[in-house]
Amino acid sequence: MTDRRLLLVHAHPDDESIGTGATMAKYVAEGAHVTLVTCTLGEEGEIIPQDLAHLAADQDDALGPYRIGELDAACDALGVEDHRFLGAPGRWRDSGMMGVASNDHPRAFWRADLDEAAGELVKVIREVRPQVLVTYDDNGFYGHPDHIQAHRVSRRAFELAAKPGFGEGEPWQIAKFYHTAIARSGMRRTAEALREAGTDFLVEDVDDMPFGSHDEDITTEIDARPWIGNKTEAFRAHATQIIVDSPWFALSNNIGQEVLGVEHYTLAIGVPGRPVPGPPVEVGGLGEPHDRENDLFAGIH
Ligand SMILES: CC(=O)N[C@H]1[C@@H](O[C@@H]2[C@H](O)[C@H](O)[C@@H](O)[C@H](O)[C@H]2O)O[C@H](CO)[C@@H](O)[C@@H]1O
Ligand SMILES: [Zn+2]
């Protein structure tokens, strides 16, 4: 199906690569139209390279424009050509982690008017007319306010885009709404491998990590291992946020994670498609035979 159109809504530059980079590269390579909407510029991020520390919000406050360049390079690595910032670049600002003072910035995404922000996403939805939307679950995958808001705005836009009489343009009903996921079982395997590898990264107890799904909650397994190189290159593009020591990576907290070529999702709205019969994905996958979808567009005719 060459008219496959996938919309991904992410909070900050780097999230697209971390959670869905291999999937995006796969679908672009297979001829789908992939649209990325990023809700903020990541202005409040920590900065890993010391020589760029001056960009920080409490110094030059120039990290946002710098991360636009990082995101452009990451999209190039993934083959993604259709990228937008929600509303416009800088319309809403990175809110910082939950509870910090920047949550109260006048432009903080966490403070955005839900219908105003959703209205901007409806414009993209009615223009692109995607069959599939991917964003985070209602906890924002790990509890970051901008991630929670990205979920809320996406769910509201999903409803408004299909509503006759709302806003400009023809109504459009998205068929499948997915949440990103990562399997705790895979996280345990990664932690064990990190310990054995003896890297400089910290190894956190999986039960102490603020994210992770139970295997039974994962409905969809996308095997995009052929595009793990694209994903790794995209990680390297986000150099203010991500350290790469392939196959491992870490954010500024230096907690080791694995660059995964198999990416997992939970179908929140829509009818699941039946998987194409094939062997279970052993490396990075959930391993055991299952009836999970292996295509985000499964069941869409
Ligand atoms: C992946 C992601 O959402 N990154 C966000 C996050 O960054 C984290 C934050 O600075 C945290 O304090 C660190 O311990 C962690 O290592 C960072 O990844 O929050 C930032 C501020 O909102 C945001 O810019 C970044 O993209
Ligand atoms: Zn983020």
ipTM attached to this prediction = 0.99
| Ligand with minimal distance to 240 CA | 1
pLDDT at site 289:
59
| pLDDT average, residue stretch 57-61 | 98
pLDDT > 90: what percent of the chain? 91
Q: What is the pLDDT of residue 1?
A: 46
Q: What is the pTM of this model?
A: 0.97
Distance CA 91, CA 110 (A): 12
pLDDT for 23 equals: 98
Going by pLDDT thresholds of 50, 70 and 90, the confidence category of residue 271 is confident
Average pLDDT over residues 235-250: 98
Residue nearest to atom 22 of ligand 1 (CA): 96
Q: Ligand 2 centre from 195 Cα, in Å? A: 26
Q: Which of 79, 74, 88 is nearest to 38 (CA)?
A: 88
Residue-wise burial string across 214-231, b where 16 or more C-beta atoms lie within 10 A, e elsewhere: ebeebbbbbbbbebbebb
Q: What is the mean pLDDT of residues 262-274?
A: 92
Q: Averaged over 15-26, what is the pLDDT?
A: 98
Alpha helices in the chain (DSSP H): 15-29, 63-78, 114-128, 145-161, 184-197, 228-237
Element spanning 245, H or E: strand 243-245
pLDDT tens track for 62-74: 999 999 999 999 9
Task: Quote the pLDDT of residue 285.
Answer: 67
Atom of ligand 1 nearest to the CA of 250: 16
Show the ligand 1 pocket: residues with CB < 6 angstroms: 12, 14-15, 18, 42, 44-46, 94, 96-97, 144, 241, 251-253
Instruction: Tell me what pLDDT residue 277 has.
Output: 55
Atom of ligand 1 nearest to the CA of 45: 24
Q: How far is CA 282 from CA 137, 168, 212, 223, in A?
A: 26, 47, 19, 10
Checking if the pLDDT of 278 tops 60, the result is no
- Provide the 8-state DSSP code for 256: -
Taking the alpha carbons at both ends of the chain, their separation in whole angstroms is 8
Task: Confirm whether residue 151 is marked as ligand binding.
Answer: no
Mean pLDDT of 171-181: 98
More confident residue, 271 or 199: 199
Nearest Cα residue to atom 20 of ligand 1: 45
Residue 279 has pLDDT above 80, yes or no: no
